[in-house]
Amino acid sequence: MQDLRSAGEEEMIETALSLGEKAFRGRQLFQWIHGRRVQDFHEMTNLPAGFRLKLQDSFRVSGVTIIEKQVSRRGDTAKYLFALPDGNVIESVWMKYHHGNSVCISSQVGCRMGCSFCASTLTGLTRNLTAGEMLSQIYETQRETGERVSHVIVMGMGEPLDNYDNLLRFIRLLSDEKGLHISQRNITVSTCGLTERIRDLMRESLSITLAVSLHAPNDEIRRRTMPVAAKYSMEEIFAVCRDYFNATGRRITFEYSMIRGVNDREEHARELAERCRGMNCHINLIPLNEVKERNCLRSVDPDIERFKLVLEKYRINVTIRREMGSDIDAACGQLRKKFLDQAGCNPDNPEEVKR
Ligand code: SAH
């Protein structure tokens, strides 16, 4: 059955026409699904009953269902474990900031990038999420909290640029003025640095923020934690990031997860700073969220502070990520992994998930 939540307005118009309805019925359908975020065709009361029945027969509006919600002690972060229609499980994080509410969404079930510190990749890639499934994570957290989402970050489970077409469809629907209408400036996509895809993205005329996961000052150290570093050198990544800025005018964010004894020395900070010279970028230092299956440790606070000071001496914009929700398994893929372990589930066969 075709999923309408991934469809754009033009496609809904075509659907209406193909079912013998006028074009404006397609526009109404879009308004219901993305403007009012209704899933059940029966609730779409201004559509003729016959049309609704036909839709019911051949289409569905995909959604996610909450399996579990964990709220941090301070109440400013909530982690959702969601079930997809096929029984797969993903997670999203809702965060309350003074400037509004952000949702961090997953782009794939699992991930195939294999970073050695990350929980999302432990079970490999199961499948890509559709645009509708990415949107549903935002629609559902907004419905459940009753609070408007203003910022979206694609930094949950998965490598978004490894699911490129669905990601683009998602961004366009999310920023559609007839949908949730989230400004593209408030959408951040994080990638481990798939340079060909960054070049494609550059040509899409989007004003989103691109975040690139570096986690190292040079290729040698990067290859120790990120298998993808064997394919793309830091030189290539920096070249594409410079081009991205020149083409879009959007400042790049570099993410740098701080792993004790691996990438957190003063000389690493200097080497990183040298690479960023003359570049309009922002570095986000992330204290590693330790994952029990991984033997990487979080850098100690004085080392993180010192790293930041060195970068500041080079006049680089740098922040240390606030550790929201570390008490609720907020690192990518952690909550899902725990759920799969408890359910005794074989990740290659999600049907086995016991509810
Ligand atoms: N595939 C995308 C999105 C991953 S999640 C990417 O690689 O960018 C967003 C960020 O969190 C990435 O920088 C990722 O490397 C980092 N990350 C993953 N697991 C982490 C952990 N346990 N602690 C700290 N950062 C982590």
Binding site membership of 108 for ligand 1 (Cβ less than 6 Å): no
For a ligand 1 pocket test, name from 190, 253, 329 the mutation site with the most ligand atoms within 8 angstroms of its C-beta. Answer: 190
Would residue 115 show up in a list of annotated catalytic residues for this protein?
A: no
190 lines ligand 1 (CB under 6 A): yes
pTM of the model: 0.93
pLDDT at residue 347 tops 50: no
Side chain identity, residue 114: G
DSSP letter for 263, please: S
Evaluate: CB of 286 within 6 angstroms of ligand 1: yes
Class of residue 85 by CB neighbours under 10 A (exposed 0-12, middle 13-18, buried 19+) = middle
Catalytic residue among 111, 276, 332, 345: 332
Residue 180 Cα to ligand 1 midpoint, Å, equals 26
Q: Is the CB of 155 under 6 A from ligand 1?
A: yes
Residue 346 predicted with pLDDT over 80: no
From 217, 280, 218, 289, select the one nearest 247 (Cα to Cα). Answer: 280
Average pLDDT over residues 171-186: 98
Distance from residue 211's CA to the centre of ligand 1 (Å): 11
C-alpha R_g of the chain? 21
Instruction: Tell me: pLDDT of 148 over 80.
Output: yes
Q: What is the model's pLDDT at position 162?
A: 98
**332 CB under 6 A from ligand 1?**
yes
Nearest 10 degrees: CA dihedral of 15, 17, 19, 20? 170
Question: 166-175, pLDDT tens digit by residue?
Answer: 999 999 999 9
91 is catalytic: yes
pLDDT of residue 143: 96
Dump pLDDT digits (tens) for 265-296. Answer: 999 999 999 999 989 999 999 999 998 888 89
Spacing, Cα 62 to ligand 1 middle (Å) = 27
Contacts of 279 (CB under 8 A, 6+ apart): 238, 241, 242, 245, 252
